[in-house]
Chains A and B, each alone.
Chain A
C-alpha cells in the first residue's frame, strides 16, 4: 500500500478532514451499531435476571449472588475494554494480526496441556482467584484478524493452490486444537469463515456444495432415505428438462447423483460410529425429541414448551413459569432465548431476531465501506461469526438445529463470551472510525 505523493494529492481533502477531527473519534464511530450492541447487552442482562428470578425469593437484579449481578461486572469491564480498543492506534490490529494469532495458538496449546477438565472439556485456564478464561473464545477474533491480514496480501481469486492452503491452515488450526480440548461447539464456529471467503472471491460452488451437503445431512435425518433419493432424482430430471444442454453432461450428472446417494447412506454410519454418544443424542434430539423426553430430548422439549407457551404477546417480564423453576437447563447461558420466547412472546422473539438481522446487515455495510481489504475482510469475519452463533443458538432452542453449546452473542450470561464478542465487534468499529485515514483499497 505504498502511497505515492500524487495519489496522496487525490485524497487530500479526506486526509485533511480526518486529521482535523482525529481527536474526536466519536464523530466517526458507527453509532447505529453501538446502539444495537447496547440494546442487546441491556436486554440480555434483564433476561438473565428473569431467568434466575423466583417470585418466592426475590433477589435484587444487582446482587452478586445471582448471575445478573455478576453479568453487570462483566458489562462494566466490557466498557473499559471498549475504551481501550478505541483509544489504541487502529493500525495495531493490522500490524499485530499475526503475533496476536500466534500468541493465541500458543495459549490454546498451553491450555490443552495444563487445563483441568471441567465438564469433560480441557478448555478453561485458571487465572487464580476463581477467575477462569476460555482461550477458545479469544481464538475467534484472533483468527479473524489473521485471516483478514492474509487475504489483504494475496488474491484468492487467482486460485493459487498454495495460497488457498495457507489460508485453510490459518482458519482451521485453532478449531483442531479446540476439538482436542473437547469443545466441539466452539470449533464449529470457524466454519462460518466460509462466508467471508465467499465475499473475497471464493468460488460460489463451494458455498453451494457446502450448503447442499449440510441440507442433505439434515434432510437424511428427517426424511426417509427412499423419498429423499426419489426427490433428488426428480430434481435432477427437472433440471435436465428445463435445460436440455445438460444431457451432454450426463456422465457428470450421474456421478453427482451417485455421490449424493452415497452420502445419504453414509450419514447413518457417521452418526452411529463416528460421533460420540452425547453428540449422537443431540442429533437424535433434533430428529425426534419426543422419543425420550426425560433423557436426551429434555432440553429441546422443555425449551420448545417454554417458548411455545409464550404465545403472541408473551407472559410478561418475570412472569414466565417454565423458565423459572429449572425446567429449562442452562437458562441464562445457552438457552437464554427461551426466556425471551416465554415472557415476551412472538413479538419479543421477532424483535430480537430483527435486532440481530439488522446488526448483521449493518456490519456487512460497514465492511463494504472499508478502504482496505483487511478492514473489509475483518468486517465479514465479524458478521460470519456472529451469524453462526445466532443461527445455531436460536435454531437449537426452537428445534431447527442440534444442541450445540454456544452462546447467543452479547445476550448470554458469561464474561468470556461477552468480552470476546465485544473485542470482535469493537475492533471493527475502531477500524471503521479511522477508515478515512486509509488511502487505498
Chain B
C-alpha cells in the first residue's frame, strides 16, 4: 500500500512540472521575445472592402444602357466617435435630430469597432459640402462606392433595379457570400443576370496601430485580393427603336414588344407608363419607389409579361384559322356567309373566303370555322364532342407558346389563360356546355388571356412560317461572348408551315386595304402584314391591339402593340406599329402624319361604336 501512496508524489510532480514549463514558456514569449510587443503595436488589421464594378449593359449596337456612377456613403466607427455634436451633424446632413441619434444607436448595436453605413448615397454635391466639415467629426468618414446610372432613361421595366440586400435574403443560403450593405439585383435583367453582373468583392488588409494610424499593408498585401469586375451584358434591344417607342407611348398606357423573328431577339420592350430608372439610384430611392408602387396607373406593373388577363381579341382569329387548316376542316377557299344572327359583325362584302375573312375580320366566318374545328364528330354526343374538340384545340394552341411562360430572361413572366374543358366543367358542370356556350373563343374573346410578349412571339411564328425561338433580351455575356445557348433552339408549332401562307396573304390585305391601313408603309416599299384586335374590358373603353410583321418576305421585325382603352386596333395600335416598323427598318420616319396622329392622342376621342 505504501508504494501506491507514494504515487501522489508522481502526480504532484506532474502538476509542478506543467506549472514550471508554462511559467518558462510565458517568460520566453513575454520577456525574452520582443516580436510580440512589436506585433501588438501594429496589430490592428483594418479590412477594407473593395466593391467590384457591376457589369455594364449595352444595347445591340454597343450603346451604353446601364453604367456605374460614383456615390458616397458616410461611414461611422462608433468606437472612434469623440464628443459628437449631434445638433451640428443633423443640420449638416439635413436630418432630424432624432434620426441622427437613431442611426448612431443602430451603428453601435451593429458593432462598436466595425464601420457601418451611417448615411447612404450622398451625391457629389452633398459630398463637397459635408467633407469639409468632416474633420470635426472623428469616427466618421466617406466611403466611395458605385451606383447604377442610366444615360438614356429608357427600358426601365426590363432593366430592373438594384438595391441593398434584404435581411431575409442574407439568411437565405442561395445568397452565400453577400454581406449586409451589398447591392443586389431586385428585378429585371439586374435580377436575372445577377450572378454575372455582381463580380467578386476584393479585400485589402491594412495594419493600423492602436491609435488608428495606418502602418501600411498587412504582410505586404499577401492576403489582399483584387476585386473582379462583373461581366458586361450585350442586350438585344435597339436603343433608338426603344426610345422612339417610349416617345410614342408617352402619356398612354400599354405595351409594345418587338422581336426579330429569326433569332427571338427582343428589339423593343415598352411598358407604359414607364419611369426614369435613375429614380432608383439616389438617396431618395425609397421615397420614389413607394410613390411609383402606389400610383393609380400601376407604373411598376411590367405589362409586356404580366398583363395576362386581357383577351387578345380578333388577332386570335389567325390562330383559329391556322389550327382549322391543320385539322383540314377548312381550306383557304372555304366560304361562309356573314350571318349576323350567329354573332355581330360590321358591314363588309359577303360571303368571304379565308383571305377575305382575315382582311375584314369577319366574326360569323370564324364562328363557323371554329365550330367545324371543335365539333369534328368524334363523338355522337354534342357535349362530349365539343369537349374532345376543345382539348385537341388547346393542345395545339399551347404549341404557339400561349398559356405558358415563354421563358424570357426577365423575371415575373405570367402564363396567360387558354380555355380548357376542365375550366368549363368547373363552371357549368360536365356535359353541360357545348359550342354555343363557348363560341366567343372563336373571335378571341372569353376565357383567353395573352400577354403582349406572347402576341409578339405569335407574330414571330407567323413571320417564320411555323416556329419561334424563345424571346430574350440578352444576347451574350461579355462584349465578345458567344450568343447564349438557351436561346438557339427553334420551337415548331403543330401547324404545318404551308398553312401559314394564306394567313400571311390575308394579313397583307389587312394593312393594304383592311382595318389597319394606318400601318401601311407601301410608299417606302415595305409590305407590312398585320391584324387588328379589340379586347373588351369591363373597366372602360376597349383595349386596342395590333400585331404585325414586316417585310412580308424575309421578315426582320415582328411586333405587338397594346394600347389600353385605345378603342380600335386600327386607329391607335396600328399606326404605332407602322411607325416602329419604319423606324427600325429604315432608321427614319416618313409617315409623319401618322406620328402626329398618334402623339395627338385623338384616337381616344373617337366615338365608340
Contact = CB atoms under 8 A, between A and B. Distances in A.
Interface in A179-212: 195, 198-201
B29 interface: yes
Interface in B21-62: 21-23, 25-27, 29-31, 33, 35-37, 39-40, 43-45
Given A199-B8, A364-B8, A305 B43 contact: yes
B481 interface: no
A346 B112 contact: no
Contacts, number: 117
Contact of B39 (A198, A309, A395): A309
B128 interface: no
A54 B26 contact: no
Contacts of A198: 7, 10-11
B37 A361 contact: no
A35 to B, nearest CB: 18
B11 A195 contact: yes
Interface in B140-168: none
B19 interface: yes
A89 interface: no
25 contacts: A57-B79, A195-B14, A199-B4, A199-B11, A294-B205, A304-B29, A305-B39, A308-B37, A312-B30, A321-B43, A322-B43, A346-B27, A346-B31, A353-B22, A354-B23, A361-B12, A364-B8, A364-B11, A364-B12, A364-B15, A365-B8, A368-B8, A399-B29, A400-B22, A400-B25
A297 B26 CA distance: 19
A370 B219 CA distance: 58
A368 B5 contact: yes
A327 B45 CA distance: 9
Interface of B: 4-5, 7-8, 10-12, 14-16, 18-19, 21-23, 25-27, 29-31, 33, 35-37, 39-40, 43-45, 79, 112-113, 205, 210, 219, 223
Given A356-B19, A360-B15, A201 B4 contact: yes
A198 B5 CA distance: 11
Contacts of A199: 4, 7-8, 11
Nearest to A384: B11
A57 B105 CA distance: 13
A307 B7 contact: no
A322 B40 contact: yes
B351 to A, nearest CB: 78
A246 to B, nearest CB: 24
A265 interface: no
Given A54-B112, A294-B45, A383 B40 contact: no
Interface in A380-423: 380, 383, 387, 390-391, 394-395, 398-400
A294 B223 contact: yes
Nearest to A195: B11
B25 A398 contact: yes
A309 B25 contact: no
A307 B205 CA distance: 23
Contacts of A309: 36-37, 39-40
A357 B30 contact: no
A300 to B, nearest CB: 12
A350 B22 CA distance: 8
Nearest to B7: A199
Interface string A325-336: 111000000000
Contact of B113 (A322, A326, A341, A391): A326
B26 A306 contact: no
